[in-house]
């Protein structure tokens, strides 16, 4: 093995460790909760699973759907599911989750993995009372799961927007374990 390869491996392990530490810290300090979608498993491999209105205190846009881990083997869906079910951006569309009653919440992080593309850009936006207050554009790939940390405070709506910066059209994102407070 070359030194360069070992250095890359060490950097990847350090980044993964830092993400886990950051995630644990946010949960401990802020008593954040994780939305993991496991209770939406239909009992068989499936995709297009509707997220019910009011689920976990949020109204979910129509194209925000769930998929079981084994439905699309060897994809970012399989890699991006922490448990047996994860959410995804259906039909290449932007998706959103809005708190029931407009109650403010904080976003601390989520696992976001490209379903297919090696370089998939995406934007996560936090809105409050109809105004954009946070926006981060990032890059992911299908070799995850990839944890992304956010410090979006006092928002009432959250958007996940797949991008097309690297050519072609927008593609799907697998999204799991969204960490929010309260």
3-state secondary structure 61-129: CCCEEEEECCCCCCCHHHHHCCCCEEEEEHHHCCEEEEEHHHCCEEEEEEEEEECCCCCEEEEEEEEEC
- For residue 170, the model assigns a pLDDT of 65
- For residue 92, the model assigns a pLDDT of 80
* CATH superfamily for domain 32-181: Protein of unknown function DUF4465 (2.60.120.1350)
Residue pLDDT, tens place only, 7-20: 433 334 444 555 55
Put residue 29 in one of left, alpha, beta given phi > 0 → left and psi -120 to 50 → alpha. Answer: alpha
Report whether pLDDT(2) > 70.
Answer: no
- For residue 77, the model assigns a pLDDT of 94
Report whether pLDDT(1) > 80.
Answer: no
Residue pLDDT, tens place only, 131-179: 999 999 999 999 999 999 999 999 999 999 998 877 666 689 999 999 9
Residue pLDDT, tens place only, 48-80: 999 999 999 999 999 999 999 999 999 999 999
- For residue 47, the model assigns a pLDDT of 95
- For residue 11, the model assigns a pLDDT of 39
Q: Closest Cα partner for 15 from 142, 176, 144?
A: 144
Residue pLDDT, tens place only, 160-171: 999 887 766 668
């Amino acid at each position: 093995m070359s030194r360069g390869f070992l250095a890359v491996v060490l950097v990847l392990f350090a980044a993964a460790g830092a993400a886990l530490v950051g995630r644990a810290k946010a949960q401990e300090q802020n008593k954040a909760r994780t939305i993991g979608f496991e209770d939406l498993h239909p009992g068989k491999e499936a995709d297009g699973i509707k997220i019910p209105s009011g689920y976990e205190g949020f109204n979910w846009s129509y194209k925000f759907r769930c998929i079981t881990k084994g439905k699309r083997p060897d994809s970012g869906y399989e890699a991006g599911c922490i448990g047996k079910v994860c959410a995804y951006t259906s039909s290449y569309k932007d998706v959103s989750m809005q708190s029931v009653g407009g109650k403010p919440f904080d976003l601390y992080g989520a696992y976001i993995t490209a379903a297919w593309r090696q370089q998939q850009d995406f934007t996560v936006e936090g809105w409050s009372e109809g105004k954009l207050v946070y926006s981060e554009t990032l890059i992911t790939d299908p070799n995850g799961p990839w944890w992304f940390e956010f410090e979006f405070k006092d928002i009432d709506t959250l958007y996940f927007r797949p991008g097309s910066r690297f050519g072609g059209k927008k593609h799907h994102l697998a999204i799991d374990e969204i960490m929010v407070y309260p």
